[in-house]
């Protein structure tokens, strides 16, 4: 026994470093001491004292080395803490948990015991925030992932534990994937923290149940060939970027070829596309592009039609570039009473401090003149994404044959980021209604879902409320009449709960017997970034 123990200690000393050798050697020292003591030519008492002293010293050293670790070990490990966070913060029935391959043993052992549904991160996959069965996707792994937001992180505060585990499991993070619906298949595309690598024959595809998604391809080291159905292959070179639009199903897949050595690209950032999309919706066609990513302004109602009493309703639009940087102004048309997807748009170059005026904006056939009512979305596309964009957007929707002056029917351009979210409410102000006035409620919804609004009017000096409901289509506009008796009314609007990514601009219109018009427009006091991509089919506009 003694000889075998000494051989074990010798092997431990020669094959392991000092820390690991101590860890594996100390538990055997008492056995070695007892085994060797019997063969010593010492007196039994001396042997017992020596063995006892050696064992006590070994035990003391073990306590000295392991006490801090044992104190630390009373807390949950980072990986266990991450799984516990998911269990305590998310509803298991509405959550789909994905755990990284680096913590596969923990995930496979813990998930059944914690009652969490989930799966191991599959190779060649990239998960979006919502699964195809409408559950929220949560990822647990040891390192952040480009494009994902970190909602929880835990790291050992002492270096002792990581040293005892070869540096593994030192940190665990809980991540929320990028917005979107479905699981992306990315065969032959390597996902890295700082860059991705596109190999020959790479593909990006969505399942048939997924949601249309946009992403930007920006090569870094070599050109990438893009192949899409019903389109000619095109080459994207380093220094340039291309917006790509991914539709669900095999037909919507995009082929990316980085050549024999592969091409490094910026990490893809996948953004859901706004609008109403059906199985037969196509993105192809000339001029399809993404609406400018910067600030956008909503003109809540535009018109071009004949009205009551010989009225002729038209809309005038003025856009001035005050940001100090030249760019392309994009004016997109949102349909009325129907879902929008790829919006018709016009595009015109504006230098710094240059202004554009369109006296009858819907007379432009590029904006779909066959539809007499709708709304506009205005943005500025600049080459430098860091440049500060400053547009002044003003509009008028008025009776061209009426007696109104230059201020008749004035409408402000409302920043899209100031739009209301579902579940919120806002005051529209006071409305004075006189005999013969015609009142209407309207709203614009920019997002990927329809929304229901309730307008509430309280007459000054009386008790009770008058309600008017309005349903607005996906990425569209709606307007309905509202019968209010003469008086002074305080009007508020409430939005039904729904998708928080939706932005809604409500308004109230009043037309007098003489044909003069006025509007009350609602907005939120808090600006919030709009997180969806909007597709437009642009046409150049000369002025």
**Judgement on whether residues 396 and 511 belong to the same structural domain of the protein:** yes
**Judgement on whether residues 502 and 404 belong to the same structural domain of the protein:** yes
Here the tokens at position 68 are 């801090």
In a domain, residue 122? The reply is: yes
In a domain, residue 62? The reply is: yes
pLDDT of residue 70: 62
Structural domain boundaries enclosing 469: 296-540
Question: Largest Cα–Cα distance of the chain, in whole Å?
Answer: 126
**Judgement on whether residues 380 and 233 belong to the same structural domain of the protein:** no
pTM summary value: 0.81
In a domain, residue 288? The reply is: no
**Judgement on whether residues 69 and 88 belong to the same structural domain of the protein:** no
Residue tagged 């070994």 (tokens): 58
- Give the Cβ contact number of residue 81 at 10 Å: 17
Distance CA 144, CA 154 (A): 12
For residues 114-140, one letter each, b for 16 or more C-beta atoms within 10 angstroms of the residue's C-beta and e for the rest, the string is eebebeebeeeebbbbbbbeebebbbb
**Judgement on whether residues 199 and 241 belong to the same structural domain of the protein:** yes
**Judgement on whether residues 63 and 88 belong to the same structural domain of the protein:** no
pLDDT of residue 161: 65
| Residue 326 phi, psi dihedral angles, 5° rounding | -75, 155
Distance CA 468, CA 242 (A): 45
**Judgement on whether residues 504 and 456 belong to the same structural domain of the protein:** yes
**Judgement on whether residues 303 and 242 belong to the same structural domain of the protein:** no
In a domain, residue 290? The reply is: no
Per-10-residue mean pLDDT of the chain, 543 residues long, equals: 60 56 59 59 65 78 70 74 94 92 90 88 91 91 89 81 69 92 92 90 91 93 92 92 90 92 93 83 74 92 90 93 88 94 93 91 83 92 75 93 83 95 95 95 96 96 91 96 95 95 96 92 92 92 69
pLDDT of residue 257: 96
Residue tagged 């019968």 (tokens): 483
CA distances from 512 to 372, 385, 431, 492, 516 (A): 21, 45, 12, 21, 5
**Judgement on whether residues 139 and 7 belong to the same structural domain of the protein:** no
In a domain, residue 235? The reply is: yes
In a domain, residue 225? The reply is: yes
Domain count, the chain: 4
DSSP result, 438-475:
EEEEEEEEESSS-EEEEEEEEETTS---EEEEEEE-TT
**In the listed set 50, 73, 96, which residue is the last one of a domain according to the structure?**
73
**Judgement on whether residues 409 and 363 belong to the same structural domain of the protein:** yes
In three-state secondary structure terms, 406 is coil
**In the listed set 73, 92, 118, which residue is the last one of a domain according to the structure?**
73
**Judgement on whether residues 222 and 246 belong to the same structural domain of the protein:** yes
**In the listed set 46, 73, 100, which residue is the last one of a domain according to the structure?**
73
Helices (H), ranges, 142-198: 160-164
Distance CA 407, CA 104 (A): 67
**Judgement on whether residues 240 and 360 belong to the same structural domain of the protein:** no
In a domain, residue 66? The reply is: yes
In a domain, residue 284? The reply is: no
């Amino acid at each position: 026994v003694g000889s075998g123990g000494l051989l074990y200690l010798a092997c431990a000393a020669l094959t392991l470093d000092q820390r690991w050798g101590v860890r594996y050697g100390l538990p055997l020292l008492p056995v070695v001491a007892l085994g060797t003591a019997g063969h010593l030519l010492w007196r039994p008492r001396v042997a017992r004292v020596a063995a006892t002293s050696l064992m006590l010293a070994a035990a003391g050293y073990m306590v000295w080395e392991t006490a801090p670790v044992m104190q630390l070990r009373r807390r949950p490990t980072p990986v266990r803490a991450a799984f516990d966070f998911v269990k305590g913060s998310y509803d298991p029935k509405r959550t789909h948990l994905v755990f990284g391959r680096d913590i596969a043993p923990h995930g496979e052992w813990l998930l059944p015991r914690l009652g969490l549904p989930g799966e191991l991160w599959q190779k060649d996959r990239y998960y979006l925030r919502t699964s195809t069965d409408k559950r929220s996707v949560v990822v647990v792994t040891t390192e952040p992932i480009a494009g994902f937001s970190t909602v929880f992180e835990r790291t050992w505060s002492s270096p002792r534990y990581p040293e005892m585990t070869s540096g593994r499991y030192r940190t665990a993070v809980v991540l929320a994937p990028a917005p979107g619906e479905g699981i992306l298949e990315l065969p032959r595309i390597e996902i890295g923290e700082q860059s991705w690598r596109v190999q020959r024959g790479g593909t990006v595809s969505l399942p048939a149940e997924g949601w249309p998604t946009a992403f930007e391809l920006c090569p870094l080291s070599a050109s990438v060939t893009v192949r899409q159905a019903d389109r000619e292959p095109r080459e994207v070179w380093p220094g340039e970027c291309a917006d790509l639009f991914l539709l669900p199903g095999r037909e919507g897949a995009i082929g990316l070829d980085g050549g024999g050595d592969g091409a490094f690209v910026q990490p893809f950032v996948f953004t859901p596309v706004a609008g109403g999309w059906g199985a037969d919706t196509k993105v192809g066609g000339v001029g399809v592009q993404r609406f400018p990513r910067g600030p956008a302004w909503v003109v809540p109602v535009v018109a071009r039609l004949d009205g009551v009493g010989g009225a002729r309703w038209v809309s005038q639009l003025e856009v001035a570039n005050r940001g100090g940087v030249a760019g392309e102004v994009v004016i997109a048309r949102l349909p009325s009473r129907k879902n929008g997807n790829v919006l018709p748009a016009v595009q015109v170059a504006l230098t710094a401090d240059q202004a554009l005026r369109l006296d009858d904006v819907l007379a432009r056939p590029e904006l779909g003149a066959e539809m007499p009512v709708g709304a506009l979305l205005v943005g500025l596309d600049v080459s430098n994404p860091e440049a500060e964009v400053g547009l002044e957007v003003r509009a008028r929707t008025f009776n061209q044959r009426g007696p109104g002056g230059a201020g008749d029917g004035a409408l402000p351009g409302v920043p899209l980021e100031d739009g209301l979210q579902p579940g919120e409410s806002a005051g529209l102000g006071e409305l004075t209604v006189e005999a013969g006035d015609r009142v209407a409620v309207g709203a614009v919804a920019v997002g990927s879902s329809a929304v229901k609004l309730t307008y509430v009017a309280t007459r000054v000096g009386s008790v009770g409320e008058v309600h008017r409901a309005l349903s607005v289509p996906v990425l569209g506009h709606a307007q309905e009449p509202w019968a209010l008796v003469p008086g002074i009314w305080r009007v508020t609007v409430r939005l039904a709960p729904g998708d928080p990514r939706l932005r809604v601009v409500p308004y109230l219109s009043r037309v007098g017997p003489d044909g003069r018009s006025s509007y009350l427009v609602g907005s939120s006091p808090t600006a919030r970034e709009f997180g969806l991509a909007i597709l437009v089919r642009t046409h150049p506009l000369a002025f």
